[in-house]
Structure 1
Amino acid sequence: MTPPIYLDYNATTPVDQHVLKEMLPWFTERFGNAASRTHLYGWEAADAVADARQQVAKLIGATEKEIIFTSGATESNNLALKGAYEAAGAERRHIITVVTEHKAVLDACQHLEALGAEITYLTAAPDGLINLRQIEQALRPDTLLVSVMYANNEIGVIQPIADIGALCRANGVFFHTDATQAAGKITVGVEYDCVDLLSLSAHKLYGPKGVGALFVRKGTNLTAQLDGGRHERGLRSGTLNVPGIVGFGKACRLAAATMPTERERLKTLRDQLEKEILETVADVRINGNQEKRLPQTTNLSFEGVDGEALLMAFNRIAVSNGSACTSALVEPSYVLKALGVPDDLAHASVRFSLGRFTTEEEIAETIQHVQEVVARLRA
């Protein structure tokens, strides 16, 4: 059976063969614990981790001392929000975020609310963007932190991160951004963006699952969420996943090298997919801002089609109708609902996310498949 065309790169990416090759020796031949500093095996592992840390830092314009390795962006988000809250004094209990954030941020905020935090949830405009005025009006003397996703995982909308960061810095407020979907796809710079805390995950940029990082700017106080060993500058205890970290570093290096050309290639393919579907299939709408968005993502709503039937009928393509973390839910996308998309349209919305191995031929076949499926279902 021929596998479907994979167009769900925002959910996860395949490990690049160059990344896998870099990782393999660290499972068997060079299996040392990076915390073992008394023999060659440990020294080799520690050096490999240090090299990977530099590569991850370089991708986002940070220094290696500001990179904390974690199990992924979910842990990074939790460490950033919970760690900052626990480290703050009683007079800094207010956090600002957005209703369209990833559940790893929203659920962490709900956890903090139960501990006494006050959370302001900003509402995005119908195109998915928020504006500075909203944040400015929400700031209070006791505001500790603002958390705004760099680029949305469902609709690809890119928020005005640099402007938000500058506003936060001017008001003495920490700024956290979940850059999981942005890093390696568009230019991300923690200095230019005035970011204090930034979350990453390797499996979104052709690295392995189960490894990520948190950028922690010097002077940003966090309380560790895992105790036992005081690894990673005392912020994240646990034996380091050396093969995964090595793969993460290699993935960042590849992403940095290929980003300029890959960004344009994917935008061209994405635009072709959108254009031909909109021209040949009636009553289709694009969700989210069409200018300020990731180059490889489009989210389309198909009017007059049952959403569940639509996804079941798309048997030649692998796509999704929302975040991979919430795909088990029967409710329509909370992101689209927050933008004012009616339930029936939100149910009949599909995210197409392209990636490094997407070809022109696959896009052409996808367009034809969408045309056939929607026509059949509407009939």
Structure 2
Amino acid sequence: MLLPLSSHNVLQYLQDVGLCSSENGSSDASELPENSNKNLNLLVTTGNSKLLVKQKRSVERDGIPHEFFNEWLFQQLLQQFPVLGNISAIAPLIKHFDEENSILVRNYFSEYVELGKFYRHQDIFPTEIATAIGTTLAGLHRATFQRREYRDFMSAAPEGQFRYNFYNPAQGVESISPEIFGIVPTEALKFYVLYQRYESLESAIADLAYEWQPCCLTHNDLKLNNILIHSRWHQLDDCLVRLIDWEACSWGDPAFDLGTLLASYLEIWLKSLVVDSSIELEESLHLAMTPLEVIQPSLLALIRAYLNAFPMILDYRSDFLVRVIQFAGLTLIHQIQETIKCRKHFDNADIYMIQVAKNFLTIPEQSIMNVFGICESEIVSPVAKNHLLLQPQKEQQLVRLYYEKTRLRGC
């Protein structure tokens, strides 16, 4: 049985595991507003340090490693391979992992703010931030790309458990059974009707799953709220981007990370639509409170920074950008499902979102133009040319057909 933590007993727990002492002076613990039915988050201040204590409210005991283990395993990877030091600079330091009680303790970044909150409160989208994120994500993928030792390390599992395959995120909507009528609100059933109506949509997701090729370490939950930027980012030479909540990380497809991030940006636009039954989709998209044109420069800066820092991904997958857009569409569909499941909510804005998601999945080349404002070749060609120029020219290995010193016949 789990030891349930609260602001009343967490200090004692930290003392018992040696992470704080009664001699450190005044200590304080409080629950963070981000708490959910899934996780409990406690902020503990002891002396001059701050710790974030997370606990799963319920753990599935079905032989599958719970998510905190993934985050702990990621930290072990960084310690096992010091050459990955640049990655550890963007990730929080895990201080303690208690598998039995499903507790994880990490350092707390008090000078950083969640990117999602930053965009909501400031209502600006600096390209400098997007560029830093693209470069940071590319650094993670590039450092682990096609490295068997890292892949094998991430295939580890808790004692007595096994991992035969890594999770493929390219999953469509599960099969519908009669039980759904007692779980999903009546208005939300329209989502499943729309989804089943488009055979091309299911086919595109099936193709995406079939072509899934894990080749590097991926975060797998790269939403804006899982990205932190320094509160003084505009005063620093480097934005000092941090990525948090590595619970879903595994060996995966880099296009999924980039697609998830792209979808999180696009949700700002899609959730600001003016929705009315008398307004057509195209008109609603143009009447958004946060127009796509406002976010577009950041989207373009993000993808260009990523490709400039990791151009070899285009050698590995020439259709990389197409897959990024398709994964963005799939993420939007998963987000609608999550809204229905958790908030029991579905409205016209979600109908518009599934229309956009369908376009991303079924006509990705055209969607690239709509999202970034330029076509795929205009994004990829400059990167490909620079990549070719930067590649060292290999010296041709020719057999010498002459003598180093001139010799005359008969001498």
TM-score (ref. length: structure 2): 0.26
From the CA coordinates, give the structure whose radius of gyration is larger: 2
Which one has the bigger helix percentage? 2
Higher relative contact order (CA 8 A, sep 6+): 1
TM-score (ref. length: structure 1): 0.28
